[in-house]
């Protein structure tokens, strides 16, 4: 199953949230372990600057079980998102084609 998210970053929190994602780039082992626990095949994040605001987009492919909040990296991720995200915008897939 594929899930999409759009997150509007709070004004003044752009550097904080981007620094967090830069940090995550250095934590590949912990992140891959988390993906396996959540039964995700792939997690991708993008950024867009529009009308002077920063938006983050995420795609999750897989089962997407709840994250283990006993893990420090998952706790930190939730704290950063809570601190930095103003709004979660609903996105729906209306067409999904896959050639296998």
Q: Is residue 20 part of a domain?
A: yes
pLDDT digits (tens, 9 = 90+) for 28-78: 999 999 999 999 999 999 999 999 999 999 999 999 898 999 999 999 999
Q: Is residue 63 part of a domain?
A: yes
Task: CATH number of the domain at 38, please.
Answer: 3.30.70
Full-model pTM: 0.88
Contact yes or no for 91/27 (Cβ under 8 A): no
Question: Total structural domains in the chain?
Answer: 1
Q: Is residue 99 part of a domain?
A: no
Q: Provide the pLDDT confidence category of residue 90 given band limits of 50, 70 and 90.
A: confident
């Amino acid at each position: 199953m594929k899930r999409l998210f759009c997150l509007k970053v709070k004004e003044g929190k752009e550097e904080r949230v981007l620094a967090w994602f830069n940090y995550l780039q250095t934590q590949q082992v912990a992140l891959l372990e988390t993906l396996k626990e959540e039964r995700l095949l792939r997690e991708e994040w993008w950024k867009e600057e529009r009308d002077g605001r920063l938006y983050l987009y995420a795609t999750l492919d897989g089962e997407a079980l709840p994250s283990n909040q006993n893990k420090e990296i998952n706790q930190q991720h939730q704290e950063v998102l809570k601190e930095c995200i103003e709004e979660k915008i609903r996105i729906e897939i209306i067409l999904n084609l896959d050639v296998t």
